[in-house]
């Protein structure tokens, strides 16, 4: 076969695969993950931990995760008391037994030594999840996608990102310049110290900007914002100043 035709075939296959993903994803419940090559990875009461080029990524299914990530002996200790099985961990992590749930102790790989920011992506997805990374130092940046469910998320000293997406969530960013977005539902957001971007979107939200020059976007619903002189607010029905 001429080289070009082989290339065109490969390209067509790649396009077909890419196009398949959203179709397959739509047909499946969102509690399942699509593997790299197509097979479905169900995560009923289970979670997975992988390494990405940015850091670590933790995924869980529809159970109510109770995840805490903190530093122990310069390593990252993940404990999820709401998950029964840790299906997969990277080579840099070891499993630890805990009274309730699952745990893994993970090294900080060499590429993130010397204070380089490492991202800890946490996707607890469905369920009423609790995620606490509040004890982490600033070099660790949490990216939490909490999705549906009444979630509680607390992040640490780093510049963190949280998307509460749906339902009533309670999110606090700790120090650092955080971007906290809670989406639908009546949410409560605490920016803490640092220059934060706090966005309530829909529902009647309460937003506490904390210290720093914050942007508070309340959006739809009857919202209440607690701000100081350094902050800007947008579409907040009631604004109280510290």
Q: Which residues bind Ca ion (CB under 5 A)?
A: 155, 160, 173-174, 176, 178, 191, 196, 210, 212, 214
Nearer to Ca ion, 127 or 173 (CB): 173
Nearer to Ca ion, 101 or 217 (CB): 217
Closest residue to bound Ca ion by CB: 176
User: Cβ distance 67 to 79 under 8 Å?
Assistant: yes
- Going by the DSSP 8-state scheme, the letter that residue 21 receives in this structure is H
Give me the least distance between CB of 156 and Ca ion, in Å please.
6
Cβ atoms within 10 Å of 94's Cβ, excluding its own? 12
Q: How far is the CB of 87 from Ca ion (least distance, A)?
A: 29
Residue 153 CB, shortest distance to Ca ion, in Å, is 11
- Distance separating alpha carbons of residues 235 and 205, to the nearest angstrom: 11
Q: Which two structure tokens, joined as six digits, stand for 174?
A: 């700790």
Of residues 177, 175, 227, 178, the one with CA closest to residue 164: 178
> Of 86 and 119, which has the nearer Cβ to Ca ion?
119
**Any idea of the CA torsion for 169, 172, 176, 180, to the nearest 10 degrees?**
20
Q: Which lies closer to Ca ion via its Cβ, residue 126 or residue 132?
A: 132
Question: Minimum distance from CB of 187 to Ca ion (Å)?
Answer: 16
């Amino acid at each position: 076969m001429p080289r070009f035709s082989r290339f065109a075939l490969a390209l067509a296959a790649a396009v077909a695969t890419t196009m398949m993903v959203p179709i397959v994803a739509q047909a499946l419940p969102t509690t399942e993950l699509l593997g790299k090559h197509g097979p479905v990875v169900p995560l009923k009461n289970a979670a997975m931990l992988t390494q990405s080029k940015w850091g670590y990524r933790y995924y869980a299914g529809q159970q109510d995760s109770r995840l805490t990530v903190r530093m122990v002996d310069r390593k990252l200790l993940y404990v999820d008391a709401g998950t029964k099985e840790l299906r997969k961990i990277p080579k840099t992590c070891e499993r630890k037994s805990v009274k309730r749930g699952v745990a893994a102790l993970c090294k900080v790989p060499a590429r993130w030594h010397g204070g380089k920011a490492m991202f800890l992506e946490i996707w607890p997805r469905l369920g009423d999840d609790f995620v606490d990374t509040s004890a982490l130092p600033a070099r660790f940046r949490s990216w939490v996608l909490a999705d549906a469910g009444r979630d509680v998320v607390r992040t640490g000293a780093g510049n963190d990102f949280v998307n509460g997406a749906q339902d009533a969530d309670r999110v606090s960013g700790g120090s650092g310049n955080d971007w906290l977005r809670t989406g639908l539902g009546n949410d409560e957001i605490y920016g803490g110290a640092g220059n934060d971007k706090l966005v309530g979107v829909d529902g009647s939200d309460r937003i506490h900007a904390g210290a720093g020059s914050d942007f508070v976007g309340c959006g739809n619903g009857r919202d209440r914002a607690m701000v100081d002189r350094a902050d800007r607010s947008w579409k907040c029905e009631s604004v109280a100043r510290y």
